[in-house]
Every structure is written in structure tokens, then in C-alpha cells.
Chain A
């Protein structure tokens, strides 16, 4: 069974648990959680991930800054990124995608939709 490593970046423990709960339904999934962008960068430096799922509004370092830093880092720039946020306006979505995110999922999340996106990205990587 192939192993899939996910990095969930969220300051809300409720959302972290809910997203992890959804991802656990993918066979072979391994989930690492981070509280903010800085925490995520630390974890990225020690582990390999197949997908990063990040919120936007977080303390210390927000999700958009994280996306931009990951895309400018040669070691991690190819990791697919999914933004999961309450910012659902079209201009927010465009901004996130322009920075290099692969998908933009507005909250409240629909588990089936999120899993479809994750599976599509994993399928494309195979």
C-alpha cells in the first residue's frame, strides 16, 4: 500500500482534527499537524510530504506567506498545496491560486469534495 504524507497547517484544533479525520480515510495516509506557518516550515525541514493543506488566517505566519515561501524554496516547491479557508470571495481564491496553491477549498468543508481534490492530486503524482 503506498504511503501518503500530509501536513495539515491550522491554528484551530477543531479544524485540524476534522481535516485529519477526513484524510485518515485515504489508505496509507500519515498526518502531521502544525499550528501555524513557522511550525509548518520546521516540520517541512525534517520530513517529506506529499500534500500540504493550510488555512490562511493564522497567527505568527499566515497561510499565504507559507505558500509563497514553499514555492520559493527549491527543496519544497513541487509539493502540492491546498488552501482551506473561511475567505471564500473570488478575489481571495484568485490570490491564493496566483501564489501557487493547487486548490482552494472554502470552509465549511465538505469532506467528499476535499477527498476528491486530494485523490486527484495524488492520482496526478503517480
Chain B
């Protein structure tokens, strides 16, 4: 029993020594940290000591001049950085707008070439003109090569007074198709008391290289659409080429499908005989 009490006493003594040692180490570490901080401060002061030395040898006036110059340099640099910041912010906005425009163009062209069904292609063009450009009354007209006439194949929001066909070369629409040039009416596109179906806002000839196969004609914009933006003009030029090829290939595909069915029927008939 006495032996056990003696051992626990010794253990306790050892632990106390150990704790003291730990406390001492902690104090040393704290002291070390303080010293390192002081060294860092002294190093910082030493950096500027050259400048202080410079002041010692000059008059107060020269010192003021020196500080004024330094202040001016700092102000100039500040303005320069401010301008750079503004420039970066503007460029960021431009890039954002460009990204959004590219997304619109990508989605429009992706959808245009997503089908070989003629009616579906027409529906997609209507969707693009209405949802992406913001037109309320508009039509898609195609050229009949035999009669040289333009006929409406799809339209949105147009009244019954609109002419369903126009001769190529007649009026604004016919002239735009004949010349293969896009037409934009002068003035404010929202200034419309009544829609005039002979004087559209925009005519976009649908071209495959130089061959015009039809035209998109816009008569009226949605109430919330106040003007055409840059992306609208990009969309117009994209539609001029991509809508034309989409409609042309869909038409060719449906024709070839029809021919294939006819030939298949003939072959089946011959086999039966």
C-alpha cells in the first residue's frame, strides 16, 4: 500500500515537472512570435529609411515638392487604373451581349436544321421571327418558278386584307425579291397607326447563293418591341441563308420521299406480276 502511494506521488511529481516544461515551451513560442513580428516591422521601416535619408539633406520646401510630385504620380496612377476598370467593365458587358447574341443565333440555326419536314421548317421560322425578333404580323412567301409569283405559305397575325400572292418585281416585296436585297422601311418601326400590307417594315429575301426562293415579310412588331437591335439584323441575315436552305432541302426531301413511294409501288406491282 505504502509502495503504491509512493509510486503515485512520484507520477504526480513527474507530471507537474512535465506541465511546467510545457508552460515554459508555450511561453518561449509566444516570445518567438513577438520577436518575429518585431523583425518584420523593422524590415518594413528599413525599406523606407532610404527615403528618410533623402529628406535629411533637403529643405522643407524640397520635401513638400517631393511629396506633391509623389501624390500627383499616385493620383495619375489611380485615374489610370480607374479608366482601365471602366474599360474592362464595358468590355465585359460587350462580351456578355455578344454571348447572348451568339446563343440566339446558335439556337435559331440549330432549330432550323433540326428537321426535314417542310411544315415543321415553316413553323420553326415563324417561331424565330415571332419569339426572337419580336414580330406580331408577318408572312413567309415562296416563289412559284412557273408563274413567277410569290405566294404566302405561312403567316402570323395577318388580317384578311393581305394579298395572298404578288408578282415578282411588283411593289416593295416583289422588288426586294427581284433584286435579292433586304428592305428596311425608313423611320420608327413602332410608328404604325394601321398596318399597310403594301409597305412592310422589313423584307428578307430567302437566298441560296444568288437564287431567291422566297421572302420573309414583317408588317408589325410586338407592342413591347421598340426598335431593331444588332442581333435582329444578325438574325435577318442568318435567316436569309439558313431558312432558305432549310426550306429548300425539306421540299426536296418530301419530293424524293414521294418519288420513292411511287417507285416502290411500281416495283411491288412488277413483283406481283
Q: Mark B220-235, 1 if CB is under 8 A from A, else 0.
A: 0011110000000000
Q: Is A107 a contact of B222 with CB atoms below 8 Å?
A: yes
Q: Mark B8-21, 1 if CB is under 8 A from A, else 0.
A: 00000000000000
**Does chain A have a CB within 8 A of B107?**
yes
Q: Is A86 a contact of B108 with CB atoms below 8 Å?
A: no
Q: Which residue of A lies closest to B103 (CB)?
A: A21
Q: Binding site of B, secondary structure by majority: helix, strand, loop or mixed?
A: helix
Given known contacts A106-B222, A107-B222, A111-B100, A86 and B107 CB-to-CB distance under 8 angstroms: no
Q: How many residues of B contact A (CB 8 A)?
A: 24
Q: Is A17 a contact of B107 with CB atoms below 8 Å?
A: yes
Given known contacts A14-B132, A86-B131, A112 and B224 CB-to-CB distance under 8 angstroms: no
**Does chain B have a CB within 8 A of A88?**
yes
Q: Is B131 a contact of A17 with CB atoms below 8 Å?
A: no
Cβ of B189 to closest chain A Cβ, rounded Å? 14
Q: How many residues of A contact B (CB 8 A)?
A: 17
A111 contacts which of B103, B114, B130 (Cβ < 8 Å)? B103
A22 contacts which of B97, B103, B136 (Cβ < 8 Å)? B103
Q: Mark B124-135, 1 if CB is under 8 A from A, else 0.
A: 100110111110
**Does chain B have a CB within 8 A of A122?**
no
With a CB–CB cut-off of 8 A, which chain A residues contact B110? 17
List which A86-126 residues lie within 8 A (CB) of chain B. 86, 88-89, 106-108, 110-112
Q: Is A14 a contact of B111 with CB atoms below 8 Å?
A: yes
Q: Is A106 a contact of B224 with CB atoms below 8 Å?
A: yes
Cβ of B219 to closest chain A Cβ, rounded Å? 15
B127 contacts which of A15, A88, A106 (Cβ < 8 Å)? A15
**Does chain B have a CB within 8 A of A13?**
yes
**Does chain B have a CB within 8 A of A12?**
yes
Q: Is B124 a contact of A14 with CB atoms below 8 Å?
A: yes
**Does chain B have a CB within 8 A of A18?**
yes
Q: Is B108 a contact of A108 with CB atoms below 8 Å?
A: no
List which B102-130 residues lie within 8 A (CB) of chain A. 103-104, 106-108, 110-111, 114, 124, 127-128, 130
Q: Is A107 a contact of B134 with CB atoms below 8 Å?
A: yes
**Does chain A have a CB within 8 A of B96?**
yes
Q: Mark A63-91, 1 if CB is under 8 A from B, else 0.
A: 00000000000000000000000101100
With a CB–CB cut-off of 8 A, which chain B residues contact A88? 222-225
With a CB–CB cut-off of 8 A, which chain B residues contact A12? 127, 131
Given A107-B131, A108-B133, A112-B97, 8 new contacts (CB under 8 A): A14-B108, A14-B111, A18-B131, A18-B132, A86-B222, A88-B223, A108-B132, A108-B225
Q: Please, could you name 19 A-B residue pairs with CB atoms under 8 Å apart, sorted by A?
A: A12-B131, A13-B111, A13-B124, A14-B124, A14-B128, A14-B131, A17-B107, A18-B107, A18-B131, A22-B100, A86-B134, A88-B224, A106-B224, A107-B134, A108-B132, A108-B133, A108-B134, A108-B225, A112-B100
Q: Chain A interface (Cβ within 8 Å of chain B)?
A: 12-15, 17-18, 21-22, 86, 88-89, 106-108, 110-112
